[in-house]
Amino acid sequence: MEEDINIEVMNREILDAITDAEDGQIKNAASAASNMIRRRIREDGFARNILPPKTVTNDGLDRVPDHDRPVIIEDMEPGSKGAKSIPFGDSADTSFYYGNKFVCSFNVITTPEFTKDINELRTYRMDLRKVITDNALRDMQAEEDYQFINTVDSIVGTAGQASTATGFNQNINVAKTGAAAGTFFSREDYVQVLSVLEDLSLNNSVILMNRKTAKSFLTMDRAEIGGDLAQTLLTDGLGALQEAEIFGVRHLFTIKRDIIPDDTCYIFAEPEYLGRFYTLQDPTMYVEKKKDILRFSARETLSVTFANLAGCAKVNFT
């Protein structure tokens, strides 16, 4: 009961602030607790767990002659021709090197503009911050994740074929031979997942899959998966966007099966070998009041750039 009273008091304060606010006042979006009944699980974005975002200001932006949109120009490690042995009295070959660069372009993610009569908000007993901001935040992060994976799919190309972007096979099919063969993958099958990036002289930093696919780990016994982890998976199961270290590699398990298909996993190199995630404007809630009508929408400006196209891969269990 005390929680309800506090929320009602808080809602009155929020409503008073909205009523007294000038048109176009900006409110930063943030998660908030609530006592309402939820319809489904909404998890944080996994893209931000793979490429940690960095905040940039106007001082960090660059200009290009082609357009007026903000960009950041970053340096890329140049290729190296290697070394060779030479006899005494011989001289080294002459080779010119160039500093490669790549451009980080920014885009906007926004929610629809929601409209509400202020008088209809007066009876709410749930946290108004939740109503206005929390789902909008999760929706924007879901869009981040969708665009993130959509870009990876375009990089790795068609399964079983070399990527047109890199010339490497970064999208492979692996037959499942685990318990009830054809249903779950085995430890031997998973070795191929761990080998894709390593064959390209990169480390496995994060492996991403949905929670249903990850259930294959539950079929592995203590000898297969390793002592403590086998017990943890047995007693705790798999949670939304849960992390686990398996075979020495960090794993993320997501509930977003609409973005990460079943029997599919994505492998990523370390951020410094993969790309950049910049935020120019953090998720912000814009609230505009005109008479008794309230309009609000959330918006963010960010840049996600894959610089090393060999730093991601995809494995499909068949």
Exposed (0-12), middle (13-18) or buried (19+): which is 295, by Cβ within 10 Å? Answer: middle
Considering the domain architecture, whether residues 13 and 121 belong to the same structural domain is answered as yes
103 beta partners? 73
pLDDT confidence band for 17 (50 / 70 / 90):
low
Contact between residue 267 and residue 314 where contact means Cβ atoms under 8 Å apart: yes
Q: How far is CA 107 from the centre of its chain?
A: 15
Q: Residue 94 falls within a domain, yes or no?
A: no
Please give the residue range of the domain that contains residue 105: 2-77+100-141+283-304
Considering the domain architecture, whether residues 189 and 311 belong to the same structural domain is answered as yes
pLDDT digits over 26-37, tens only?
454 444 445 555
User: Does the pLDDT at position 4 exceed 60?
Assistant: no
Considering the domain architecture, whether residues 216 and 108 belong to the same structural domain is answered as no
Share of the chain above pLDDT 90, in %: 37
Average pLDDT over residues 44-63: 92
Considering the domain architecture, whether residues 288 and 198 belong to the same structural domain is answered as no
Considering the domain architecture, whether residues 18 and 112 belong to the same structural domain is answered as yes
pLDDT digits over 138-180, tens only?
889 999 999 999 999 999 999 989 998 888 999 999 888 866 6
User: Does the pLDDT at position 234 exceed 70?
Assistant: no
In the block, tokens 């290697």 appear at 82
User: Does the pLDDT at position 8 exceed 60?
Assistant: no
Separation of alpha carbons 48 and 28, rounded Å = 19
pLDDT confidence band for 230 (50 / 70 / 90):
low
Work out how many domains the chain is built from and give that number.
2
* DSSP class of 95: -
pLDDT digits over 180-210, tens only?
667 777 778 888 889 999 999 999 999 999 9
Contact between residue 103 and residue 64 where contact means Cβ atoms under 8 Å apart: yes
Separation of alpha carbons 13 and 122, rounded Å = 11
* Between 109 and 214, residue with greater pLDDT: 109
Q: Residue 150 falls within a domain, yes or no?
A: no
Contact between residue 176 and residue 185 where contact means Cβ atoms under 8 Å apart: yes
Separation of alpha carbons 40 and 45, rounded Å = 15
Other Cβ atoms closer than 10 A to 112: 9
Compute and round to an integer the Cα radius of gyration of the chain. 25
| SS3 letters across 250-287 | EEEEECCCCCCCCCEEEEECCHHHCEEEEEEEEEEEEE
User: Does the pLDDT at position 228 exceed 80?
Assistant: no
Contact between residue 109 and residue 299 where contact means Cβ atoms under 8 Å apart: yes
Contact between residue 27 and residue 283 where contact means Cβ atoms under 8 Å apart: no
In this structure, what token pair is assigned to residue 159? 């399964």
Q: Please report which residue ranges of 132-267 form alpha helices under DSSP H.
A: 135-156, 187-195, 211-214, 222-225, 227-236
Q: Residue 93 falls within a domain, yes or no?
A: no
Considering the domain architecture, whether residues 252 and 292 belong to the same structural domain is answered as no
Q: Residue 34 falls within a domain, yes or no?
A: yes
Considering the domain architecture, whether residues 22 and 114 belong to the same structural domain is answered as yes
| CATH code: domain of residue 191 | 3.30.2320.10
Name the CA dihedral angle for 159, 162, 168, 172, rounded to a multiple of 10 degrees. 20
Q: Residue 209 falls within a domain, yes or no?
A: yes
Contact between residue 189 and residue 178 where contact means Cβ atoms under 8 Å apart: yes
Q: Out of 223-227, 240-244, 249-253, pick the least confident.
A: 223-227
Considering the domain architecture, whether residues 184 and 120 belong to the same structural domain is answered as no
User: Does the pLDDT at position 237 exceed 80?
Assistant: no
